[in-house]
């Protein structure tokens, strides 16, 4: 008899985005005439072609594989030196942030990394997650057996939820209790909020005082426009001995379908064994990586490295400006329709309070059935997301302008 990991049985319903797709497909089956009008602003999936520099680099990489001289088989599990060096220099050192090449671990994306990181932490850690939250942080902790059962409102026993509300500008306050692992995500998915230097400093000080580790997801860093907003947790003094940073090329370079990201683990960062001895976290992650992963593909890494060339960076800027232009239009349309809105300025997500006394799924249904627009219900991100919804700015300009017209028609007086 094969015994399963019965922690999986605690998971609520499906993962959020497949669940949204299920509902959208059911609607389309019942109303096939609406299918051509449907505009998807639900999952944050990019729509625009990749930067030309990445395309050319990946074409060349394929050609390399067609030769004996430039053939590549297994690469280094932690990523090719030339990509790690480009990341260290162009994503960090150029901004005055101390990150070294051997502190970077290239992967197939931040979603996998934020889930896989739990492999190297033991049971019994007290874990804090924001609410609302990117569902991966919660569900992977459920799978790992780090929680108790689900409650009525979808939250899990055993996790420490950090409420993110309009009152704290969606930047969580420090917990009143001790925690060991803290998930933070800025620019935030789903709210689009950013944290100031002072706010992050508070978290770093808390983590250091509690020997806790911050799992800092900065997958949306490329969208930061405000020069005062920190781009990396490692801009904050003291963060090198209490934080891990996750980054991704998915949103920066349109790589959601290509798959490439990376984790930064400073050498100073230690966890503790059961006897309280310090153990370098990067040693464990490196060991895990070389056992369970054979590296992101050569072709993909060549594409990612091309994003750091002069042309690549200029083309990436154009891509980011396109999505931020969409976000500005959506923000404005929701505002003009009388909604309270957040995010959308340093992030590709607009977070809005549901109008007309609707709850999150009620608003989802209204948008789907009356406007044929797919959004993400805030309650799918946690109980504190109830009463809100998220619109993704990842779309063509034409579609976004149409969504704005439909929001106006549906809600503006």
Binding residues (CB under 6 A) for ligand MLT: these are: 43-45, 111, 189
* Closest CB 111 distance from ligand MLT, rounded Å: 4
* Closest CB 76 distance from ligand MLT, rounded Å: 25
- Nearer Cβ to ligand MLT, position 44 or 378? 44
- Phi and psi angles of residue 170, each rounded to the nearest 5 degrees, phi first: 65, 25
- Nearer Cβ to ligand MLT, position 44 or 51? 44
Q: Is 238 left (phi over 0), alpha (psi -120 to 50) or beta?
A: left
* Closest CB 256 distance from ligand MLT, rounded Å: 7
> At CA 143, angle to CA 256 and CA 210, rounded to 5?
90
What 8-state DSSP symbol labels residue 241? G
* Closest CB 25 distance from ligand MLT, rounded Å: 18
| DSSP code per residue over 330-350 | HHHHHHHTT--EEE-SSSSEE
Identify the three-state secondary structure at position 267: coil
Q: In 6-58, at which residue ranges do the beta strands (DSSP E only) sit?
A: 39-40
- Nearer Cβ to ligand MLT, position 142 or 204? 142
H or E segment at 353?
A: strand 349-353
With tokens 């009143």, the residue in question is 176
- Nearer Cβ to ligand MLT, position 108 or 180? 108
- Nearer Cβ to ligand MLT, position 12 or 270? 12
* Closest CB 326 distance from ligand MLT, rounded Å: 14
* Number of alpha carbons in the 13 Å side-chain half-sphere of residue 406: 21
- Could you give the CA distance from residue 307 to residue 150 in angstroms, rounded to a whole number? 42
Q: Largest Cα–Cα distance in the chain?
A: 67
Structure token pair of residue 118: 């739990």
- Could you give the CA distance from residue 89 to residue 237 in angstroms, rounded to a whole number? 19
How many CB atoms are closer than 10 A to CB 9? 9
* Closest CB 406 distance from ligand MLT, rounded Å: 20
* Closest CB 210 distance from ligand MLT, rounded Å: 29
- Nearer Cβ to ligand MLT, position 256 or 282? 256
Task: For residue 79, count CB atoms less than 10 angstroms from its CB and return exposed for 0-12, middle for 13-18, buried for 19 or more.
Answer: buried
* Closest CB 44 distance from ligand MLT, rounded Å: 3
- Could you give the CA distance from residue 235 to residue 12 in angstroms, rounded to a whole number? 37
Query: Nearest residue by C-beta to ligand MLT?
Result: 44
* Closest CB 110 distance from ligand MLT, rounded Å: 7
- Nearer Cβ to ligand MLT, position 282 or 392? 392
Report, in this order, helix, strand and coil percent for the chain, each rounded to 5. 45, 15, 40
- Nearer Cβ to ligand MLT, position 189 or 395? 189
- Nearer Cβ to ligand MLT, position 44 or 385? 44
């Amino acid at each position: 008899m094969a015994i399963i990991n019965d922690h999986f049985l605690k998971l609520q319903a499906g993962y959020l985005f497949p669940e949204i797709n299920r509902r959208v497909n059911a609607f389309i089956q019942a109303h096939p005439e609406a299918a051509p009008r449907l505009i998807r602003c639900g999952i944050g999936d990019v729509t625009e072609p990749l930067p030309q520099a990445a395309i050319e680099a990946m074409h060349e990489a394929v050609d390399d594989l067609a030769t004996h001289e430039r053939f590549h088989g297994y690469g280094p599990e932690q990523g090719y030196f030339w990509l790690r060096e480009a990341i260290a220099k162009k994503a960090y050192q150029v901004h005055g942030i101390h990150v070294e090449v051997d502190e970077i671990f290239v992967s197939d994306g931040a979603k996998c990394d934020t889930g896989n990181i739990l492999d190297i932490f033991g049971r019994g850690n007290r874990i804090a997650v924001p609410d609302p939250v990117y569902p991966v942080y919660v569900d992977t902790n459920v799978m790992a057996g780090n929680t108790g059962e689900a409650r009525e409102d979808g939250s899990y026993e055993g996790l420490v939820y950090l409420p993110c509300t309009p009152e704290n500008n969606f930047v969580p306050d420090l917990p009143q209790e001790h925690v060991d692992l803290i998930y933070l995500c800025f620019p935030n998915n789903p709210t689009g909020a950013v944290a100031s230097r002072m706010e992050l400093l508070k978290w770093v000080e808390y983590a250091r005082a509690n020997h806790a580790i911050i799992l800092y997801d900065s997958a949306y860093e490329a969208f930061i426009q405000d020069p005062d907003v920190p781009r990396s947790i490692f801009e904050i003094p003291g963060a090198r001995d209490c934080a891990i940073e996750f980054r991704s090329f998915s949103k920066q370079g349109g790589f959601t379908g290509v798959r490439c990201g990376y984790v930064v683990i400073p050498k100073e960062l230690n966890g503790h064994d059961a006897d309280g001895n310090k153990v370098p976290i990067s040693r464990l992650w490196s060991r895990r990586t070389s056992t369970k992963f054979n590296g992101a593909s050569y072709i993909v890494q060549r594409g990612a490295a091309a994003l750091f060339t002069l042309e690549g960076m200029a083309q990436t800027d154009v891509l980011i400006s396109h999505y931020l232009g969409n976000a500005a239009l959506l923000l404005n349309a929701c505002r003009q329709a009388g909604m309270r809105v957040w995010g959308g300025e340093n992030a590709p997500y607009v977070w809005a309070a549901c109008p007309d006394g609707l709850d999150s799924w009620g608003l989802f249904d209204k948008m789907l059935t009356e406007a044929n627009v797919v959004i993400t219900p805030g309650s799918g991100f946690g109980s504190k997301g109830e009463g809100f919804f998220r619109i993704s700015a990842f779309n063509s300009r034409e579609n976004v302008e149409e969504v704005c017209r439909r929001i106006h028609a549906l809600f503006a007086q």
